[in-house]
Homo-oligomer: A and B are copies of this chain.
Amino acid sequence: MADPHDVSSVTLNRLSLYLRALRQLQLQGERTISSLALAERYHLSAPQIRKDLARFGEFGIRGVGYDVGELAGRLRGLLGLDREHRLVVVGIGNLGSAFVRFLEDEPGSFRVVAAVDNDRAKIGRRVGSLVIRPLADLAAVVAESGAEIGILTVPARAADANYRALLDAGVSAVLNFAPVALAHPDSVPTKSVDLRIYLEELAFQLAAQHLGAAGGERRLPDGG
């Protein structure tokens, strides 16, 4: 076991995958599972599961496997999912409103507590159970609601300014869906996701496939 700091993004994403799998196993009433069985059911790698888990402690029972409930609990704790995280969504367009409703349907450890937009037509309307507030009030909204994580779902041209507004308002982390490269301070974890890129990845693979692909293999695991 190593110290739990500096975990790479890929490892972290695998831990989320393991947790997702374990929750399904729990629903199915499974009590224990071996790394091999877990790997087979969810198309993962057994040695990698063991390596990943062993990094954070000895969670398994030799000769048996892992206790499903206990391991799920450990992973929840590790990932910081054992408490509620409050989110503020900035930009209530297509993606922003989808995100609000999505998380209201299945909150898990994440709860959207505020929604803001700078469009006069939207302010005061509802998205899910929330009333949309003016972007100009962001700092007050964050302070009142106790929002900790900002979700940035605004057009590219507005992203930089709104990102800074989120930082100024005092959020501790940001998930950005705008297609821009944000310069972020070390103190505020910021993850950028560009949905278009996933489509482009598939487009490349279709192109490579079409171009014969004689000899060279395209090996791109589906990523979870």
Contacts and interface: CB of A to CB of B under 8 A. Distances in A.
A8 B7 CA distance: 21
Contacts of A211: 4
Contacts of A94: 97-99, 101-102, 105
Interface of A: 3-9, 12-13, 15-17, 19-21, 41-44, 78-81, 85, 87, 94-95, 97-99, 101-102, 105, 108-110, 148-149, 172-176, 179, 181-184, 189-211, 213, 215-224
Contacts of A8: 220
Contacts of A101: 94
21 contacts: A4-B211, A6-B218, A6-B219, A7-B204, A15-B204, A16-B197, A19-B200, A79-B203, A80-B200, A80-B203, A80-B208, A85-B203, A94-B102, A110-B199, A148-B206, A173-B205, A175-B199, A191-B202, A192-B222, A193-B195, A193-B224
